[in-house]
Amino acid sequence: MRVGIGFDTHRFKKGRPLILGGLEIPYHLGLDGHSDADVILHALMDALLGAASLGDIGKFFPDTEKRYRGISSLKLLEEVKKIIEEKGYCVGNIDITVILEKPKLSPYREKMKEKIAKTLNIEKEKVSIKATTTEGLGYCGREEGIAAQSVVLLKRVSGHQGSS
């Protein structure tokens, strides 16, 4: 078994949709970034790649590549899934914490879990998404952006020969 942790943050920007966990969330601000700026999925992908000792999403999907401009992070997550499977790993479980003041995520949490589970071809029960505030402290507390962190457990697929 291998454990990985990922972190991502993006600032708010007017005129962009807010995409979190693969869902468009109704809100007057979106997140700024080269892709869709989905902090939840970016933190998750970094955790998956880190657990497999493969680096981070910037290594695989650099923001200097035009083909990744505005891309759905769900598509990138599909690619990360293939990468870790090629290395002989499957997902044991995922735990994600989103740090933001607004918007409230509780109405969207189950759908986010479903999207992530479907993309990774795992049971929804293996995905946990929590949200917390910083009680007004820091850039998240001042509602300048959103951050997310993720921890994942990868398991070696039985019978797969590969480096640990």
Range 135-144 average pLDDT:
93
Give the Å distances, CA to CA, from 80 to 16, 64, 83: 25, 18, 5
Give kind and range of the element (H or E) at residue 117. helix 109-120
The label of the residue with tokens 């599909």 reads 78
Residue 150 pLDDT class (50, 70, 90 cuts): very high
pLDDT tens string 74-87:
999 999 999 999 99
DSSP string for residues in 49-107: HHHTT---HHHHS-TT-GGGTT--HHHHHHHHHHHHHHTTEEEEEEEEEEE-SSS--TT
Range 21-50 average pLDDT:
97
Tell me how many degrees the CA angle 112-44-117 measures, rounded to the nearest 5. Answer: 40
Name the 3-class secondary structure at 118: helix
Is pLDDT larger for residue 163 or for residue 161?
Answer: 161
CA 68 to chain centroid: 16
Q: Tell me the C-alpha distance between 82 and 89, whole Å.
A: 10
Domains (ranges, CATH) in the chain?
2-156 (3.30.1330.50)
Residue 164 pLDDT class (50, 70, 90 cuts): very low
